[in-house]
Amino acid sequence: MVCQCRFCDERFNSRQLRDKHIKDYLFYPCLTCAQKCNSLTDLEQHCKDSIHRPPPLAPETLDEQLQLYLQGAYYLEKVIVTRTDRRRARIFVQDFLKKIMRNVIRQPNGRMYSQIIEPAGSTSTQTKIIVADEFDFNIVLKETFQQFIHSGRTVVFDMEHYDFEPLHQRIGLRDLFPNEKVVVPNGYVAPLHRNNAPPNITRLSYYQQFIPRWVQEDLYVKIKNALDEIDIGDLEVRLKCYPNGPAITMFIKHIPGIDHEISIDLSASIKTNIPVNIYGWPREETEDVLSDLQIAKIEEAGIILVPKHQRFWYISFSKAITSLMQFIDGANECRRTCHKVLKRDFKTWQSEPYAGGLKGISTYLFKHHLFWINEEKFDEKENYWANQNIGQCYMDMLESLAEKCRAKHLPNYFNIQENILENKQTRVLNKLAKFCEERRLELLHIHMR
Ligand SMILES: [Zn+2]
Ligand SMILES: [Zn+2]
């Protein structure tokens, strides 16, 4: 006898197996605090004990139930940052960085950094979740470059023999680049400076090519000096910079008026006039979902270079991403909400004891995935992204993300040649896929009555 689950269509060889499956996934959410209960009795007891809204009387459709749970409870209770916390944290971080950069600029050769500290990542897209505890900023360099060596061209650099030392140690030129040739990878460039560039640029260059690793190291040392010199009061500050990471991370504790640790990612960045369409964006499908004006705004946002590779600068579309994130939703649409709910779920998955932190996965890839699914769903029913349809949208998002992880293929939205999952561990990607699949199944088995 084959038994089917009426919630997710899965088939089982016996009624017992099916009933066990339903019992495993079924949940009753509290619509006030989003807590999940295993039975209606538990939920009623919970609502009574905590004086929370009782379960709704009328049975609703799956869409209605999911909207009530995801948007009405989960989003409000577990996802959004409280406004006072966000404001306080933001003011603190900006003041603190200003103080540091004022000192950095006064150090020898410090004038190559401008005073401009630009919000990046979720700091700039305002998709921060839970508490305002992580900030991303770019420190803009004064120098601009007119010439770049692009992907495909050969330059001198030996990666095999080059073993990076801890960042606080200065690495000699000769050890760095024995005379071997490599190709600039897709998505990267080597900026070339002028013959008469100032010494604060040439000292971080090799054959007129500005070396990201040295810039990052230079900035790291200067921030360290600044922290030693400025008055930080009772703050406890730790500074980290991993040789292969794109950013210098600062962890700050004991901030007056803020009851959690804050981490700030800082990255040097170079402004460029490299066009956003360098890799063929916008595609035909893009023009279906974005207006000419929106595309123009994204192009205007431009490209910056950031140190993601030791030898070559990464062509970063982060400003284009920020721009697109800002107008991706029309009125009463739910893409951003879905994105933030996913980020929140991801945070939960990361803290599962067996998840091992989902090493190497960052929410950066969720943004690219969102842009792709936005194009893929263009032909879907009208009002697909409407708030009332959030349950379907979110479940589709989870399903599609799981597929991309299992296939280990998710192109950069602005550069389809770049697969942003390429260097991720297959084991970790499969784990992430599993979390997505499980969460989707769970949502299909939501109960209210
Ligand atoms: Zn089922
Ligand atoms: Zn509750």
Give all domains of the chain, ordered by start, each with its CATH number.
3-56 (no CATH), 83-327 (3.30.460.90), 330-448 (1.10.1410.40)
Ligand 2 centre from 47 Cα, in Å?
Answer: 6
* pLDDT category of residue 247 using cuts at 50, 70 and 90: confident
Q: How many CA atoms lie within 13 A of 309 on its CB side?
A: 18
Comparison of pLDDT for 442 and 171, the residue scoring more: 442
Residue 408 pLDDT greater than 60, yes or no: yes
Residues contacting 341, CB < 8 A, separation 6+: 70, 74, 75, 79, 394
What does the buried/exposed string (b/e) look like for 368-397 if buried means 16 or more CB atoms within 10 Å of the residue's CB?
Answer: bbbbbbbbebeeeeeebbbbebbbbbbbbb
Please state, as a whole number, how many other Cβ atoms lie within 10 Å of the Cβ of residue 111.
13
390: confidence class by pLDDT, cuts 50, 70, 90: very high
Residue 175: predicted pLDDT: 43
CA of 10 to the centre of ligand 1 (A): 6
State pTM to two decimals.
Answer: 0.89
pLDDT value of position 66: 95
For ion ligand 2, residues whose CB falls within 5 Å: 30, 32-33, 35, 52
Ligand closest in space to the Cα of 32: 2
For residue 27, report the distance from its CA to the centre of ligand 1, in Å: 12
In degrees rounded to 5, what are phi and psi of residue 205? -120, 165
Write down the H helix ranges in 177-211: 199-202
Tokens representing 62?
Answer: 């799956």
Query: Which of 11-15, 154-158, 288-292 is predicted least confidently?
Result: 154-158
Crossing angle for the helix pair 426-444 and 335-351, nearest 10 degrees?
120
CA 34–ligand 2 middle distance (angstroms): 6
Task: Output the CA 49–ligand 2 centroid distance in Å.
Answer: 9
Q: Which ligand is nearest to the CA of 6?
A: 1
Question: Which one is predicted more confidently, 173 or 357?
Answer: 357
Torsion sign (Cα): 226, 229, 231, 236: positive
- Asked if the model's pLDDT at residue 13 lies above 60, the reply is yes
Give the residue from 272, 315, 267, 265 showing the smallest Cα distance to 143: 272
Residue whose C-alpha is closest to residue 141's, from 265, 269, 248, 246: 269
Residues lying with their CB under 5 A of ligand 1, a single-atom ion: 5, 7-8, 10
Lowest mean pLDDT among 90-99, 154-163, 192-201: 154-163
**pLDDT level of residue 258 (50, 70, 90 thresholds):** confident
How remote is the CA of residue 51 from the centroid of ligand 1, in Å? 31
Give me the torsion for CA of 421, 422, 426, 431, rounded to 10°.
-10
Find the 198 Cα to ligand 2 centroid distance in Å: 62
Confidence of residue 245 (pLDDT cuts 50, 70, 90): low
Q: Determine the distance separating the centroid of ligand 2 and the alpha carbon of 138, expressed in angstroms.
A: 40
Q: Dihedral of CA 29/30/34/35: which sign?
A: negative
CA distances from 334 to 244, 287, 339, 340 (A): 35, 20, 9, 10
Distance 441 CA to ligand 1 centre (A): 7
Determine which of 55-69, 75-89, 367-381 has the lowest per-residue pLDDT on average. 75-89
Beta strand residue intervals within 123-216, DSSP E? 134-141, 147-149, 154-156, 181-183, 188-192, 205-206, 209-210
At residue 244, the pLDDT reads 62
CA proximity to 384, closest of 375, 441, 440: 375
* C-alpha of 49 from chain center: 38
Distance between Cα 442 and ligand 2 center (Å): 18
